């Protein structure tokens, strides 16, 4: 089995008023967000990002951590499950010239409006049924994506990540360590359908046979 490791340690943290956001969110907002369309990416902030635009300050500090963790080179291949508009893919291709990067996302809007140089390498696909052969990629990465599925489907997505990865994988999921974090998480959450404690997640990974690395999103 993999290990808990914060490969996003250098991803910039934004200051959030979690309590205020939780009070503002409604079930209607969540229903709109879970369509993962224009409203989620480039609509009102209460439905998602409020404008999802490329900013190098986010992923460029993270790519060297990924590179060191797996020893990525120009000969490596990486799949991003839940790639959105392909921003992480773009920075990886820029900082590791020659590397093969592919991305999939359930959102047609995100793929159609992806960063231009990555569009040929992105496709619409369901994480529960990745359109690739077994062991197609050295590394598979999925950031804050698989928890958007119900528990059984989430398990299937983890098994698919395991299936197509040759060397390793890394996922981040919504989680909590205590009751206070749990309360904040449920108030904060906009799209996740599977939220568990860190211990429950670790047990779940073992249950479904996921052996990659993992870390948590805790607002």
Task: Provide the pLDDT for residue 180.
Answer: 94
Each residue's pLDDT tens digit, 30-69: 999 999 999 999 999 899 999 999 999 999 999 999 999 9
Q: E-strand spans in 177-211?
A: 196-197
Average pLDDT over residues 58-86: 98
Q: What is the pTM of this model?
A: 0.94
What is the C-alpha to C-alpha distance for residues 87 and 103, in angstroms, rounded to an integer? 10
Query: Are 10 and 61 in contact, with CB atoms under 8 Å apart?
Result: yes
Fold of 18-120+137-217: Rossmann fold (3.40.50)
Burial class, 128, CB count within 10 angstroms (exposed 0-12 / middle 13-18 / buried 19+): middle
Each residue's pLDDT tens digit, 163-206: 999 999 999 999 999 999 999 999 889 999 999 999 999 999 99
Task: Provide the pLDDT for residue 200.
Answer: 98
Q: Write down the domain spans for the chain.
A: 18-120+137-217
Which among 46, 216, 203, 212 has a CA at the least distance from the CA of 147? Answer: 216
């Amino acid at each position: 089995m993999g290990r808990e490791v914060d490969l996003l340690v250098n991803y910039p943290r934004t200051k959030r008023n979690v309590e205020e956001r939780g009070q503002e969110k409604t079930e209607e907002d969540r229903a709109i967000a879970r369509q993962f369309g224009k409203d989620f990416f480039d609509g009102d902030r209460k439905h998602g990002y409020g404008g999802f635009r490329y900013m190098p300050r986010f992923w460029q500090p993270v790519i060297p951590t990924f590179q060191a963790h797996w020893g990525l080179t120009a000969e490596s291949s990486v799949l991003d499950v839940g790639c959105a508009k392909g921003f992480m893919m773009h920075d990886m291709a820029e900082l590791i010239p020659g590397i093969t990067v592919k991305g999939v996302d359930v959102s047609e809007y995100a793929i159609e409006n992806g960063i231009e140089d990555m569009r040929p390498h992105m496709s619409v696909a369901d994480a529960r049924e990745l359109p690739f052969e077994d062991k197609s990629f050295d590394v598979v990465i999925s950031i804050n994506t698989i928890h958007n599925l119900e528990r059984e489907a989430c398990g299937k997505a983890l098994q698919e990540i395991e299936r197509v990865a040759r060397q390793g994988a890394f996922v981040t999921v919504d989680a909590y360590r205590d009751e206070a974090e749990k309360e904040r998480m449920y108030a904060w959450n906009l799209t996740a359908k599977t939220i568990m404690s860190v211990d429950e997640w670790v047990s779940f990974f073992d249950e479904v046979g996921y052996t990659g690395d993992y870390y948590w999103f805790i607002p």
